[in-house]
Structure 1
Amino acid sequence: MDWFIAPDYWLSRLVFQRALAGVYLVAFLTAALQFRALLGERGLLPVPRFVARVPFRRAPSLFHLHYSDRFFACCAWAGCAVSAALLAGVDGYLPLGAAMALWLVPWALYLSIVNVGQTWYAFGWESLLLETGFLAVFLGNDEVAPPVVVLFLLRWILFRVEFGAGLIKMRGDACWRNLTCLDYHHETQPMPGPLSWFFHHLPRPLHRVETAANHVTQLAVPVLLFTPQPVATAAASLMILTQLWLVLSGNFSWLNWITIVLAVSAIRFPGGGAPASAPDTAPLWFEVLVLAVAALLLFLSYRPVANLVSRRQVMNRSFDPLHLVNTYGAFGSVNRVRYELVVEGTADAVAREDSDWRAYEFRGKPGDPRRWPRQFAPYHLRLDWLMWFAALSPAYAGPWFGALVERLLEGDRATLRLLRRSPFPPDAPPRYIRARLFHYRFTTWRELRETGACWERTYVRDFLPPTRLAETAERI
């Protein structure tokens, strides 16, 4: 048997590849349905404006060569089509080289989107999908068992995801060290899910157990990924259970799901070895290519490793424009209080406090206190996430919030499609828009029974005073 391959991980590779294709599909679908309002020619942060000032070498993308909304849509929907084909297992019917080329297509397309996505794509899971997707190119298909070195590199990604997140917590907010962060986190996280209210109301001792278990899973268990089986399988399985707990407690896009996909690659399924008809060697050209890529990735790992051991560790940073090796982390600090922006409009000729102000309802972020949070992950509501950051500080909203207000005042249909409900039809937009900052907290059990509301909110201050279309550029 060739030392280069690991036939015992035949089924592991199959599950990994199909699951990764599913994540790709969600990512491209998110891009296809949201890009026009966010990044399009009349978007909040237009791609043409970005590529005009950022050179190709800093952000390699097809859109440096050409951009139009139609071309972007073609790329996003092509990514959906290729991802669906990979999910259906088309790569298993192709020659090895053609299968690798097919896996390279969604990686190249998504890299092109991420590199022009600006703040809408500045999330760690974008780089994580690209780094994982690049390695998937070299996992092979039914013509060869999965290469040992690629399986190792997938574990190396998973180790950095978990261990980096664990270190940033221990070095960051003191509440992680005194085990109190989860007293707040379920309430103040970017986008609560349908069960977050219940997680928040778990007994405080259980929150301490949650936090301690998180430290064990992120700081101790990742080391076991590099031990012999079945210990590595047990470690990966524990990580999957932890991620499923996070899936239930909130909406974190596909972060949890891509982490689960990575963990699957470390599991050796009983009876999941290569079929008897499978080749017991790998082609020489394939071995040379995989080893060369592995050497490159290990070389590029220097800066992420230096970041891990640094006292000034940063989260979610890419060190190369291709996002080949990155650093990860999440929630180095936890908010104690939840703030939300409520955007309202009025058709009145003069904007007064007693005018008929009507609120815009977003799909995922809290708004109406009686509306229960929905489950959206792994689908990513990009505007809703950025609204959470905007509520933390106006600095986060500076590049795009003024354009959002303009589009609402214009009744822009693409922007309105990002929302759950607009109180004004596109052909009769409001005369004024305002934004107010509120403090939100989960209601108690008693308040929930009495009012039916899961949130209680208190006005804090104006974020944007009443603004007309001609005044938008001056006030924001």
Structure 2
Amino acid sequence: MDWLSWFDAPEYEFARQVLQRGVAALYFVAFLSTLNQFPALLGERGLLPVPDFLSGFSRLRRPTLFRWRYTDRLLRWVCAAGLLVSALLVAGIPQQGPPWVPLIAFLALWLLYMSIVNVGQTFYGFGWEMLLLEAGFTVAFLGSDQTDPPRTILILIVWLVFRLEFGAGMIKIRGGREWRDLTALYYHHETQPMPGPLSRQAHLLPKPLHKVEVLGNHFAQLVVPFFLFAPQPIASVAAGIVIFTQLWLVATGNFAWLNWIAIVLAFAAVSDPVAHAVLPAIPLDWHGQAGVEREAPLWWLALTLAATLLLVVLSYWPLRNLFSRRQLMNASFNRWQLVNTYGAFGTVTKQRIEIVVEGTLDEDPDDTSDWREYGFRGKPGDVRRLPRQWAPYHLRLDWLMWFLPLRTVHEEWFYAFLGKLLEADRQTLRLLRHDPFDGAPPRWVRVRSYHYRFAGREEFRQTGNRWVRTLLYEPIPPLSLRRSPGRPG
């Protein structure tokens, strides 16, 4: 039947290769991040132990493989399986078989990572977790090299990019005044959760250029997404604008895999002829079999259409949310975290407040004691240190440290963290860049609050400092194991 040929999109083979391998690569990063950090943060002896969380767990609401039992060893096996499957997909091995092979592989990644996210509590409460889950489920139905890419699935991936970009744009317009008067970038490069090596240079750009940045952001998020659904080559041009703006965000900050997954997903709107025109090394005939039809089995067509129908039905709630006056940001409307709503930075923090943790070996400490500062891998601390580029890797402890002054330092996990420092817990210390006591337990720890700002060019030439910091106050006075850390009150 000729009408069935519409469902095949042979001119999007390059897009499929980027989507499958790119999403799989980001799953690899996510599982690697979990393997390295989860036991210390959420493991059996972690800051928020999963076994304690599971004791009050609703089995019907949060699907997870850990619902019956959690051990650090089982977590590591889950991560190892995720790393293996994602590596095979990056190499393109499952894609060589029938379409059900990469389907099962991606659904396995989705289920394995959802099992982690659903017990990850505040350390996994980021929008890019559900974005990765939704992307993994949707990309699973792109098929294999034995079939053409399904057009309806590609459209649904474009719909995901639209929700990601347009949702973020609407959050900003409805949010802080700084987005409407074009001053948001006066602050954002300096106050974002985890600056990168070029963030200071971006912050020091002239203010008129910052206004141009904001205008460009509004154009890319509020106008361009509609053209992703346009005929070619307009859709490819729109995707190119999305990719360019996301690369600028990659260059000026550290937002885990948020920007990278937006880049990967945007390729769903890039056709092979356009990709070949931009980069002739990309073949027009990916498999070197011009004129050879790859007819999809009827069962595969039925399965992709069923998945399409499911995702279309689930789109009702996020579509309504996009145009709601009370727009939700980074919210899921079902327990499987499919077809979610996204958005970030509806308001921009005007000042950077950093929480600094110090320890001392003195028996009876005061301000004249030898207080030594703990160093974190990503968050600012040492005023001379150049911020590192970590994305797409996700430093979960550092990110939550940024939220403390915006909420309260009196978080359960943070007091648990201070207790681990007093014990010189090796798992916890491995999350840090610098332990000033070389593995020995301090007698006391304290928490101080500082105002940080980027040093100007003249200040940097004179001092070599990239940051200028000013002590504000001491939100948590000295604590010791004799005075057990715990939330006051």
Q: 1:425 aligns with which of 438, 446, 458?
A: 438
Amino acid at match of 1:409: L
Is contact 2:412-2:486 (8 Å) kept?
A: no
Deviation at 1:475, TM superposition (A): 4.9
What does 1:238-249 correspond to in 2, within 5 Å? 238-249=241-252
Give the corresponding residue for 1:96: 99
**The residue matched to 2:243 in structure 1 has which SS?**
helix
Q: 2:469 aligns with which of 428, 436, 457?
A: 457
Deviation at 1:77, TM superposition (A): 1.7
Deviation at 1:469, TM superposition (A): 1.6
Deviation at 1:295, TM superposition (A): 1.1
Is contact 2:173-2:179 (8 Å) kept?
A: yes
Amino acid at match of 1:288: A
Cα distance in structure 2, aligned partners of 1:313 and 1:365: 30
Consecutive unaligned residues in structure 1, runs of 5 or more: none
Corresponding pairs, count: 474
The answer as to 2:72 corresponding to 1:72 is no
**The residue matched to 1:320 in structure 2 has which SS?**
coil
Give the corresponding residue for 1:188: 191
Q: 1:399 aligns with which of 404, 409, 412?
A: 412
Cα distance in structure 1, aligned partners of 2:139 and 2:265: 11
Deviations for 1:289-333, whole angstroms, at most 9, x for unmatched residues? 111111111111111112111111121111111111110001000
Deviations for 1:79-137, whole angstroms, at most 9, x for unmatched residues? 11111111111112222222211221111111111111111111111000000100111
**Given the two structures, how large is their TM-score scaled by the length of structure 2?**
0.95
Deviation at 1:66, TM superposition (A): 2.1
**Given the two structures, how large is their TM-score scaled by the length of structure 1?**
0.97
The answer as to 2:264 corresponding to 1:261 is yes
Displacement over 6 Å in runs of 4+:
none
Give the corresponding residue for 2:25: 22
Cα distance in structure 2, aligned partners of 1:399 and 1:312: 30
The answer as to 2:57 corresponding to 1:49 is no
Deviations for 1:414-466, whole angstroms, at most 9, x for unmatched residues? 1000000101133x200101000000000110100000000000001112100
Cα distance in structure 2, aligned partners of 1:463 and 1:316: 30
The answer as to 2:300 corresponding to 1:286 is yes
Cα distance in structure 1, aligned partners of 2:395 and 2:292: 43
The answer as to 2:396 corresponding to 1:382 is yes
Cα distance in structure 1, aligned partners of 2:398 and 2:235: 37
**The residue matched to 2:271 in structure 1 has which SS?**
coil
Give the corresponding residue for 1:276: 290
What does 1:14-413 correspond to in 2, within 5 Å? 14-270=17-273, 271-273=283-285, 275-276=289-290, 278-394=292-408, 398-413=411-426
Deviations for 1:192-221, whole angstroms, at most 9, x for unmatched residues? 000000000001110010000000000000
CA RMSD of aligned residues (A): 1.3
Consecutive unaligned residues in structure 2, runs of 5 or more: 274-282
Question: Identity rate of aligned residues, in percent?
Answer: 55
Cα distance in structure 2, aligned partners of 1:55 and 1:475: 26
Is contact 1:411-1:425 (8 Å) kept?
A: no
**The residue matched to 2:75 in structure 1 has which SS?**
helix
Amino acid at match of 2:480: R
The answer as to 2:446 corresponding to 1:443 is no
Amino acid at match of 1:444: G
Deviations for 1:50-98, whole angstroms, at most 9, x for unmatched residues? 1211212211000113210000011012111111111111112222222
Q: Greater CA deviation, 18-27 or 266-275? A: 266-275
**The residue matched to 2:141 in structure 1 has which SS?**
coil
